[in-house]
Structure 1
């Protein structure tokens, strides 16, 4: 799993049948320090509650669509939850 911040949404007039009824969001992956990491990705909102500005945790590949209980979904990433509190304790070297 990894974390990211929702920075936008995707509206499609046509999409794969396995994605019908699912919200697609643009998410910026983040480092442990909440800094941008790599390029934004498109993720399905499996919890159907995520929105602009939310800090979320996600899964990639097949695990990304497990919560929606469909046999097969065309997805690279899926939002699995909204993060309410996030804290990293730095280890001393």
Structure 2
């Protein structure tokens, strides 16, 4: 899994039928120091994440199986909304502090 920040949404009216009703998010990855990286990815949202939230992203074959029982053509899916991240006794991120 990787940590990412939700930057926006992706809307597509024409898509594979198995993706109907699936919310797509534009994500920007975060490094271990909490720095925003230049890499972006589109991921399906399985947890109801919103813009500016930090999330955990699963990638690869697991992503195709997370949303529902049917196989979907997904490479990445948001599986959790992050509350806090600590690295070596140092808080990197706190959702609570983000909105102050």
**TM class, shorter-chain normalised?**
0.7 to 0.9
Where do 1:1-93 residues align within 5 Å? Answer: 1-47=1-47, 49-89=48-88
TM-score under structure 2 normalisation?
0.81
TM-score under structure 1 normalisation?
0.87
Q: How many residues align?
A: 89
CA deviation string 1:18-68 (max 9, x = no partner) = 111110000001111121234210000012x10100100011011123331
Q: Looking at secondary structure, tell me which structure has more strand per residue.
A: 2
> SS at 1:86's partner residue?
strand
- The runs of 5 or more residues in structure 2 that have no matched partner are 90-100
Higher relative contact order (CA 8 A, sep 6+): 1
Alpha-carbon RMSD:
1.4
Give structure 1 regions of 4+ aligned residues with deviation exceeding 6 angstroms: none
